[in-house]
Amino acid sequence: MKNLKMTKMPELPFDVQEAVNQLRVNIGFTGDSIKTIMVTSTIPNEGKSFVAMSLWRNIANVGNKALLIDADIRNSEMRDRYGFASEDGLVGIEHFLSGKLGLHEVIYTTNVQNGFVLPVSTNVIDPTILLESDRFKKMMEVVKENFDYIVVDTPPLNSVADAMNISKYCDGSILVVGSNNASRKIINETINSLKRTETPLLGIVLNRVDTSRRGSAYGYYYRYGGYGHYGRYGQYGRYGEEQKKK
């Protein structure tokens, strides 16, 4: 198995680290059957990839063999944001799903102890066929047998259908909602979409809360600030901007 080094992993402030730790503990209370966790959001720019990465690292740090799957194949930013580097050259999930490489060739050990990554190396404009293929199903079956926990980062639910396709292979989902980002209507629509997949909604992470305005009680929880920046609109179009205008 090849090694991948993440050269831009941020050191989290104490309150942020504690919030992520509490999220991991809460997931543990959902039961032993919850091992594959999908992390998604309503619209772009809500910090879901940051939450997925931080949760994965926290799970690995306490001794669990944890795999992070970057399934945001259309518009992945993880490799650039966290500085993914491999001496052998980076290959990813798209190479396995297209039949070019075996699964063992695209899963990397990392500089996070107990942490493994299945990255995206090249964005694919329309990965629908890849996500609906038998190879994706086989991939999820194999990783479930070989890892204690799998964290799957997916595109926003209300932007493209990718997360809906991925959810059926996951034991539960976490919805990341940016404070003052999406409307209540859009959030409710996203929750109803998750219910239709019959994938349990494990909880909602309220991200980027302005603790200076909301009071000190929020400071202990999800004060991610700039760490959760997802990117503006990318390949998902201007859907997020239109919702802000509304």
pLDDT at 217 over 60: no
- pLDDT at 146 (0 to 100): 97
Q: What is the percent of the chain with per-residue pLDDT over 90, rounded to a whole number?
A: 65
Distance CA 161, CA 144 (A): 23
- pLDDT at 225 (0 to 100): 33
Q: Order across the sheet with 3-6: list the strands.
A: 84-85, 3-6, 108-110, 115-118, 66-70, 149-153, 36-41, 172-178, 201-207
- pLDDT at 69 (0 to 100): 98
Sign of CA dihedral 181, 185, 188, 193: negative
Distance CA 232, CA 237 (A): 9
Distance CA 68, CA 87 (A): 20
**Chain segment 53-72, per-residue pLDDT in tens:** 999 999 999 999 999 999 99
pLDDT at 235 over 80: no
Of the candidates 42, 44, 40, 54, the residue with the CA atom closest to the CA atom of residue 82: 54
Q: Nearest 5°: CA angle at 190, between 170 and 36?
A: 15
Q: How far is CA 49 from CA 37, 76, 98, 216, in A?
A: 13, 9, 24, 26
Residue 210 confidence class, pLDDT cut points 50, 70, 90: low
Ordered by where they begin, the domains of the chain are 3-245 (3.40.50.300)
- Which residues share a beta bridge with 206? 177
- pLDDT at 129 (0 to 100): 94
**Chain segment 120-166, per-residue pLDDT in tens:** 999 999 999 999 999 999 999 999 999 999 999 999 987 788 999 99
- pLDDT at 98 (0 to 100): 96
Burial tier of 29 (Cβ tally within 10 Å: 0-12, 13-18, 19+): exposed
